[in-house]
Structure 1
Amino acid sequence: MLGMELDPDTCYKAIASHDRRFDGRFFVGVSSTGVYCRPICAVRTPRRENCTFYESAAAAEKHGFRPCLRCRPELAPGHGLADISGRLAQAAATLIDEGFMAEAGVAQLAARIGVTERHLRRLFDAEFGVSVHEYAQTQKLLLAKRLLTDTTLPVTQVALAAGFGSVRRFNDVLKERYGLTPLAMRRRAAEGMADRLVFELGYRPPLAWDQWLGFLGVRVVDGIEQCHGGAYTRTLGIDADGRRHLGWVRLEHVPKRTVVRVTLSASLACVIPQALGKVRRLCDLGCRPDIVDAHLGDLAADTPGVRLPGAFDGLEIAVRAIVGQVISVVQARRILARLVQIAGAALPGDALAGLAAAPHAAPLTHAFPTAQALAALPDADYQAAGVPMAKTRTIRALARLVAAGEIRLDPHAAPDDTVAKLRAVEGIGDWTAQYVAMRALGWPDAFPGTDYALRKVLGVSTVRAMQASTAQWAPWRAYAAIHLWHRYEALKQAPVQGGADIGQEELA
């Protein structure tokens, strides 16, 4: 619906039924109250003549509406990369959501997604009904509202974390737009707040959390991640403000609220938008399971709501894939754990504060190595980690390209161009390139067609036969691969021996 004229009758039916499939796809402004809501708002359904519908929260605010304090529009799920026609506009919006414009302007944003500034402005207006600056202002306010409501961060820190240059500016804008001061908004939400950075990110149900967690659990690397008690915890490093912020994040599923609960270490307070953006990508929270599952048909019938496991760090996914080529998952995990200990940054004590130890799990101690660290790591250190010389050369070559900005491994990179660049690196074949496109780029039609497990499940022996068997699932073949890997695991009743992180590239 985004990027097209909203049909008022369809929108009104959606809000009358509280249909979660439409959550985040539009917002409703209610003239009798002066607020705008999500389609799932639990308040009494407003009269039809009092409703107007908007493509984005920014568009609703542009027309004078304030965000609902009950359904909280800032909690609405976003959009997947293939979810709307204006992929470039959505890429720019995602960067804004993650704080890009706190240190940059429209020109830099346009350059980042590879278009002219004028073209970006046209795309944005067509897609969201507002200018880039109007969208950015709304996102800053909604983030500030969330921080005031969900945390006990000082108002000064809230203003800076949300991208306002000063507390005075923050106070003025908040009062102008919402009619409240920061302290007044905090008093409304003070009851029950805890001294933690805890957030809730919405999704469109269903969500196959156990399958998503199981996929990551099989591939856990000691020192940087844990899966225990239905939760996923890991370390991360985020570059912002000229320095690297180290900390940890824990993810838990709350199905009754259709949210993923996110707990961040206090050391990440200055990079909350970036951290939440990484969580959305890792969990594929912008997915439209109603569309994907309907297209996959019988393949998705047994496990609806499967998500495409994303990445906090695209280079990490690439290194995992390279290390895991033609060896078992267990072997790859051991090598990666040693590499993390040798080349990763150790988390200081304050970054580990508040992290409870998971029973029978290796402690979290390091962040995954940066591109610069892997590019400069001596051969002897790679050998000490157990990385063969050929794979050492491949990892180092890729790390240098990433560090130099010649290859980008994030959802805003062009998939076809990135896959071609990856395949040009010695030691990277189609399996590895497609796997990186699946997880690091979040590309929904990527498919590692030479994978051993996929070949076994589909009963094919050639690439041509594989392509013929999977064509029916385009453009959602990455989701099909996840379903097929789950089937393979079920058949073997054991961890995958040829799926993700193991590049079976021998298929002719």
Structure 2
Amino acid sequence: MEDENTRYEAVRSRDGRFDGEFFFAVETTGIYCRPSCPAVTPKRENVRFYATAAAAQGAGFRACRRCRPDAVPGSAEWNVRADAVGRAMRLIGDGVVDREGVAGLAVRLGYSARQVQRQLTAEVGAGPVALARAQRAHTARVLLQTTSLPVTEIAFAAGFASVRQFNDTIRAVYARTPTGLRAAAHRRGSAPSAATLAVGIPLRLSHRGPYQATALFDVLAAEAVTGIEEVSGDRGRRTYRRALRLPYGTGIVAVDERPGGRQRPHSHSGGWLDARLRLTDPRDLTTAVQRLRRLFDLDADPYAVDERLGADPRLAPLVAARPGLRVPGTADPEEFAVRALVGREEAERLVRAYGKALDAPEGTLTHLFPEPAALAGTTGPLGALATALADGTPSLDVGADRDDTQAALLGLPGMDARTVAAIRTRALGDPDVAAAGEDVPDTWRPWRSYALQHLSSANES
């Protein structure tokens, strides 16, 4: 939606399809919103458009209290794009700037910090520091409104360098103090109880458009590796639970299959998945949420996917039957690469033999999947893959160059084209992968991964 008049029409019609794809701000109120904001539509001459919430914040606008624009799904564009900007946006979302700074981000991308700043500012209207700041503000709001952690602990857990920086940012973004944000949640009846991180943070993992939760949970149930994950409950009302290895500690997450809000299988209103996340270190919240979003493919644009694939006679009935079908990702790319190579039964054996036991097991969740270094001493293709992953060649992080990673994987013993295609699709989140031997026309680009998911789901139903 490059044309601003077209964007304004989306705002005027409160079109939720574009939530997260762009933001609009109103000069007369000093507030920025998501396109579907229910407030009275402002006059066109008072509206300004921004590619990111960070850009709107940088221009001096504060977040709308009605539509909560900081809580929208991420733009699907960053998953499609393989250039430096797309890779940077994925890395920032994973918390790299908070952990490693702009210099660390630049090293991962292979550019200078100045080049990264220039490219991001030109394309999305904000540099890496501003983008990370916007993300920290959102993390802080979630912690303030869903946990009983002290405000000072939340400041550092969200990634702020000081309490003063935290207070200033919250005031600038939300026009309230941190304690004011927490009090507002209490008045709405959503204030935290005495629960802390040990009990779990309740989350709403938002998505745009229709969402075929049952099909995705079917995949997770079929692949679940005992010890690190489980799927319980009846079909349609299942819960997926798994252990997470995170930068500062570990986590256990539970995600419900039944979509929340007004979402229905054939709805176009969007919605969310309900989740609860228990962390050993609150600094991992942002990273954990982003990894869950990739696992459940929550930042996809189902409208763009369905429009393209639905125009193909072979796929049209499949798209009509399953609008908003998602491609499962992974919460741990290196884990998925190993599982793709060895299969489920061998993966369960590896968990028992090499997995790290959780300090506080929860039900059937007892271990973390073994890290590549723990498997590097094994023989054959597994040992070769584990050694390469432990050395960082190939890289499977969210900012990896997908073509370089594919070439490196294909150079390893025992890695065939089909296995590498699965890793590129699921671990690297590439929406446009065609597996070797598949009849996949170019007209399905840039959504060939989704086309193959439709064919696979149809064969299994």
> Structure 2 length as normaliser, TM-score?
0.88
Aligned partners of 2:305 and 2:447 also within 8 Å? yes
The residue aligned with 1:210 is: 214
Q: What are the superposed Cα offsets for residues 427-461 of structure 1, whole Å, 9 maximum, x if unpaired? A: 11111111111100111122222xxxxxxxxxxxx
Q: Is the CA contact (8 Å cut-off) linking 2:14 and 2:36 kept in structure 1?
A: yes
CA distance in 1: counterparts of 2:30 and 2:168, whole angstroms: 20
1:92 alignment partner, one of 88, 91, 107? 88
Instruction: Please tell me whether residue 276 in structure 1 is matched to residue 321 in structure 2.
Output: no
* 1:155 counterpart (151, 154, 179): 151
> How much is the aligned-residue C-alpha RMSD, in angstroms?
2.1
What's the counterpart of residue 330 of structure 1?
none
What is the distance in 2 between the residues matched to 1:410 and 1:301? 34
| Residue 163 of structure 1: how far off its partner (Å) | 1.0
Partner of 2:260: 254
- Corresponding position of 1:496: none
User: Contact 1:232–1:251 at 8 Å: present in 2 too?
Assistant: yes
Aligned length: 434
Q: In the alignment, is the contact (CA less than 8 A) between 2:252 and 2:277 conserved in 1? A: yes
The answer for the alignment partner of 2:306 in structure 1 is 293
C-alpha spacing 1:296/1:430, structure 2 compared with 1 (3 Å): same
Answering whether residue 398 of structure 2 is matched by residue 411 of structure 1, we say: yes
User: What's the counterpart of residue 445 of structure 2?
Assistant: 474
| Structure-to-structure mapping, 1:166-177, within 5 angstroms | 166-177=162-173
Confirm or deny that 1:127 pairs with 2:123.
yes
Structure-1 residue corresponding to 2:340: 321
Contact 2:70–2:138 (8 Å) recurs in 1: yes
| Equivalent residue number for residue 268 of structure 2 | none
* Aligned positions of 1:369-448 closer than 5 A: 369-376=370-377, 392-448=379-435
Counterpart among 445, 455, 458 of residue 484 in structure 1: 455
Match of 1:347 among 352, 358, 361: 358
Q: Secondary structure at the match of 2:251?
A: strand
AA at the equivalent of 1:35: I
Are 2:139 and 2:285, in contact at CA under 8 Å, matched by a contact in 1? no
Note if contact 1:110-1:120 (Cα within 8 Å) is conserved in structure 2: yes
Cα 1:477–1:178 shift into 2, 3 Å = closer
Amino acid of the structure 2 residue aligned with 1:284:
D
Percent of paired sites with the same residue: 39
CA contact (8 A) 1:435 1:447 kept: no
- Cα distance in structure 2, aligned partners of 1:112 and 1:148: 32
Tell me, in whole angstroms, the C-alpha distance in 2 between the residues paired with 1:96 and 1:239: 14
Q: Which residue of 1 aligns with 2:61?
A: 65
Matches within 5 A, 1:454-469: 463=437, 466-467=438-439, 469=440
Q: Which moved more, 1:53-62 or 1:293-302?
A: 293-302
The answer on whether the counterparts of 2:183 and 2:191 sit within 8 Å (CA) in structure 1 is no
Partner of 1:386: none
Q: Is 1:189–2:150 an aligned residue pair? A: no
Structure 2 residues not aligned, in runs of 5+: 264-270, 311-315
**Structure 1 CA distance for aligned equivalents of residues 305 and 397 of structure 2:** 22
Q: 1:199 aligns with which of 203, 212, 226?
A: 203
User: Paired residue for 1:232?
Assistant: 240
Residue aligned with 2:246, SS: strand
Output the amino acid matched with 1:248. Answer: I
Cα drift, residue 82 of structure 1: 5.9
Deviation per CA, 1:195-215: give whole Å up to 9, x if none.
241122221111111111111
Cα separation, partners in 2 of 1:319 and 1:81, compared to 1, 3 Å:
farther
Higher Cα Rg, which structure: 1
Letter in 2 for 1:26: F
Letter of the structure 1 residue corresponding to residue 348 of structure 2: A
Secondary structure of the equivalent of 1:260? strand
**Gapped regions of structure 1 (runs ≥ 5):** 325-332, 358-362, 380-391, 450-462, 491-508
State the Cα distance separating 1:365 from its structure 2 match. Answer: 0.9
Alpha carbons of 1:185 and 1:420: their partners in 2 closer, same or farther (altered >3 Å)? Answer: same
- CA shift, 1:102, in A, is 1.8
| 1:370-409: CA deviation from partner (whole Å, max 9, x where unpaired) | 1111114xx5xxxxxxxxxxxx421111111111112112
Give the Cα separation in 1 of the matches to 2:340 and 2:82: 31
Does the CA contact (< 8 Å) of 2:296 and 2:328 recur in 1? yes
Q: Is the 8 A contact 1:247 1:347 kept in 2?
A: no
Give the counterpart letter for 2:242 in structure 1.
Answer: R
CA distance in 2, matches of 1:138, 1:402: 32
SS of structure 2 residue aligned to 1:478: helix
- In structure 1, how many angstroms separate the alpha carbons of the residues matched to 2:25 and 2:85? 23
Q: CA deviation at 1:84?
A: 6.2
Q: Distance in 1 between matches of 2:279 and 2:107?
A: 32
- Range with greater deviation from structure 2 (420-429 or 257-266): 257-266
The secondary structure found in structure 2 opposite 1:256 is: coil
Partner of 2:98: 102
Amino acid at match of 1:435: A
CA distance in 1, matches of 2:148, 2:85: 33
In the alignment, which residue of structure 2 is the partner of 1:305? 324
CA 1:56/1:434 → structure 2, altered by over 3 Å: closer, same or farther? Answer: same
Q: Which amino acid aligns with 1:148?
A: L
